[in-house]
């Protein structure tokens, strides 16, 4: 028996190709949708993981900020304690300054000089007195500049000749020199800071009251 296809074979092939195309297109859509769903799930997981890391970092940053505040508070307390300690040390040092100052003046004031007043304003000390000669005042300045551990930068403020009455029984008046010297105080060497001045050091002359000036 012979079968004869009366349908157009080209039209049948066209329909087959169309069915194959739509089938492939549907399969591709299904595969693409599946890939999209999988990628979306991966993105969600990555986002959740990143949010978790961000939350951890935020918590750590807050904890570190709290520690930094604590450290700043401790530093402020330490600075305050250091300032108090320095104030106490300065007070202890300044309390001994008059003792050292008087000892230095006794030690380095030459014979023939009589001190009448000592005034301190911070690190500056103004010394007034009467000298027998100008050379005595120069010697006092040299001693303060080169020998004293506490005195520095001596500066002669004023010197003038005056006539004073001599003691009863003497004749006439005596010519002396009224002077004023300004010096700065300095800290002694560390090994000398805690030691009182040696009593065996030779004193050039006592600091006494000045004789009465002539009117």
Q: In what order do the strands lie in the sheet with 113-121?
A: 113-121, 124-131, 173-185, 151-165
Q: For residues 120 and 191, what is the distance between their CA atoms, to the nearest angstrom?
A: 25
Q: Residues in the chain, how many? A: 215
The dihedrals phi and psi of 175, each to the nearest 5 degrees, come to: -90, 120
Give the C-alpha separation, 191 to 196, whole Å: 11
Tell me the sheet residues that pair with 161. 177
3-class SS of residue 158:
strand
**140 exposure class (CB count in 10 Å sphere: 0-12, 13-18, 19+):** buried
Predicted TM-score (pTM) of this structure: 0.46
Q: What is the pLDDT of residue 192?
A: 47
Q: Spelled out in words, what is the top-level CATH class assigned to the domain 109-188?
A: alpha beta
Predicted confidence at residue 17, as pLDDT, reads 81
Q: What's the confidence (pLDDT) of residue 169?
A: 55
Averaged pLDDT in 10-residue chunks for the chain of 215 residues: 61 79 85 89 90 91 89 90 86 76 87 90 88 90 86 88 69 81 72 43 39 37
At residue 126, the pLDDT reads 92
Domain boundaries, the chain: 11-97, 109-188
Query: In this predicted structure, what is the pLDDT of residue 129?
Result: 92
């Amino acid at each position: 028996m012979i079968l004869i296809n009366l349908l157009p074979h080209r039209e049948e092939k066209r329909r087959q190709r169309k069915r194959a195309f739509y089938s492939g297109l549907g399969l591709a859509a299904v595969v693409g949708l599946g890939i999209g769903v999988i990628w979306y799930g991966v993105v969600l997981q990555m986002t959740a993981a990143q949010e978790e890391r961000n939350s951890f970092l935020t918590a750590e940053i807050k904890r570190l900020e709290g520690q930094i505040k604590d450290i700043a508070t401790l530093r402020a307390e330490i600075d305050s304690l250091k300032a108090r300690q320095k104030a106490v040390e300065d007070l202890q040092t300044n309390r001994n300054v008059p003792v050292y100052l008087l000892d230095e003046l006794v030690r380095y004031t030459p014979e023939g000089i009589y001190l009448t007043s000592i005034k301190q304003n911070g690190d500056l000390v103004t010394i007034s007195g009467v000298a027998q000669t100008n050379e005595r005042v120069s010697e006092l300045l040299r001693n303060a500049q080169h020998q004293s551990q506490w005195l520095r930068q001596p500066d002669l403020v004023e010197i003038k000749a005056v006539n004073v009455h001599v003691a009863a029984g003497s004749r006439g008046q005596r010519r002396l020199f009224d002077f004023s010297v300004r010096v700065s105080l300095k800290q002694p060497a560390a090994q000398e800071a805690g030691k009182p001045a040696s009593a065996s050091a030779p004193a050039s002359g006592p600091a006494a009251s000045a004789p009465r000036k002539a009117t």
